Amino acid sequence: MIKQAIIPLAGLGTRLLPLTSVFPKELLPMNGKPGIEYILDECINAGVNEIIFVISKKKEIIKKYFNNDSFYRSIIKKKNDPRIIKEYKKILFFKKKIKFVYQNKPMGTGDAVLKAKKYIKSKYFLMLFADDLIMKTNCSKAMIKAHKKYNCSVMASMNVNKNTVNRWGIYSVDKKLDKFNFKISDVIEKPDLLNAPSNNAVIGRYILSKKIFTYLKNQAKGKDGEIHITDAIRRMILDQNLFIGHKFKGKYLDCGSMNGFIKSGIEIFKL
Ligand code: G1P
């Protein structure tokens, strides 16, 4: 059973400057609600009941956003607005499910996941990148189904334009397991075009075994001096741990870059 999720949220969001100079990108509105709420909805609808946010001191406003129920209560006392009451109930619901841990230095995705270790109780957990929205389907739910079927780690996958391989983690495919799932034989973080084994990219949804923490503890720094989750996963695969790639249905929206962010808002509006 996958009941816990980790969401790394301590990134600086430099690709979205100036919007992120004082405001966390995850709270920026996408068609009327903060981007992070789409991710939370996906987790909850997939059956997750505890979500660990990895934030930094600079991004404490995220904690404030989800702990602001007393503010809502004071407003509701003065103004009995059904819309605000609904928002209050939603925030209260999320508040009960979220735990916060800190990653004050941006040391990479692997380091962020390691910071959440103390809260992870079960054998497997979900990990999501808030920049990656997947609409029209619940990708996490479909991945949990694949995890149950094959009893292993699962990562979301999508074919990308060959010229952009150096922006993604890229898979080597071992063999197809069924229509949506394949066995991974290797994964490389942001290879250049010449070294890329395919154009099949890692998208920010992972079901990981608790074993990953042992690998992350002694994970050497990789690309740009950061500790990447991809590098630890790669070592696990080489140690014969089964990882499968899941080709999700839905629509992928990249909210981490300025162009992508603008486009995503329009796409969600159109849905
Ligand atoms: C991260 C991962 C990368 C993955 C990507 C998906 O990169 O390191 O392997 O393909 O997310 O969005 P980032 O977007 O943090 O640069």
258 Cα to the center of ligand 1, angstroms: 16
Does ligand 1 lie within 6 Å of residue 230's CB atom? yes
Return the best residue to mutate from 131, 168, 257 for the ligand 1 pocket (most ligand atoms within 8 A of CB).
Answer: 168
Does ligand 1 lie within 6 Å of residue 204's CB atom? yes
**What is the per-residue pLDDT for 135?**
97
203 Cα to the center of ligand 1, angstroms: 7
**What is the per-residue pLDDT for 91?**
96
The chain-wide mean pLDDT, for the chain, equals: 97
Query: Looking at the domain 4-270, which fold is it?
Result: Spore Coat Polysaccharide Biosynthesis Protein SpsA; Chain A (3.90.550)
For residue 179, give the amino acid letter. K
Does ligand 1 lie within 6 Å of residue 231's CB atom? no
Which portions of the chain are predicted below pLDDT 50? none
**What is the per-residue pLDDT for 263?**
96
Domain boundaries, the chain: 4-270
pLDDT digits (tens, 9 = 90+) for 228-240: 999 999 999 999 9
Atom of ligand 1 nearest to the CA of 189: 9
Q: What angle do CA 51, 57, 63 make, to 5 degrees?
A: 40
pLDDT digits (tens, 9 = 90+) for 46-61: 999 999 999 999 999 9
**What is the per-residue pLDDT for 42?**
98
One-letter-per-residue 3-state SS of 26-73: HHCEECCEEHHHHHHHHHHHCCCCEEEEEECHHHCHHHHHHCCHHHHH
Does ligand 1 lie within 6 Å of residue 265's CB atom? no
Query: Of all protein residues, whose CA lies closest to atom 7 belonging to ligand 1?
Result: 168
Structure tokens at 229: 């989750």
176 Cα to the center of ligand 1, angstroms: 23
**What is the per-residue pLDDT for 208?**
98
Q: For residue 83, what are the contacts with CB-CB under 8 A and spacing of at least 6?
A: none
| 3 state SS of 154 | strand
The overall pTM is greater than 0.95? yes
Identify whether the C-beta of residue 125 lies closer than 8 Å to the C-beta of residue 4. yes
**What is the per-residue pLDDT for 146?**
98
Atom of ligand 1 nearest to the CA of 168: 10
Share of the chain above pLDDT 70, in %: 100
pLDDT digits (tens, 9 = 90+) for 11-54: 999 999 999 999 999 999 999 999 999 999 999 999 999 999 99
Return the best residue to mutate from 6, 202, 223 for the ligand 1 pocket (most ligand atoms within 8 A of CB).
Answer: 202
Structure tokens at 66: 């989800």
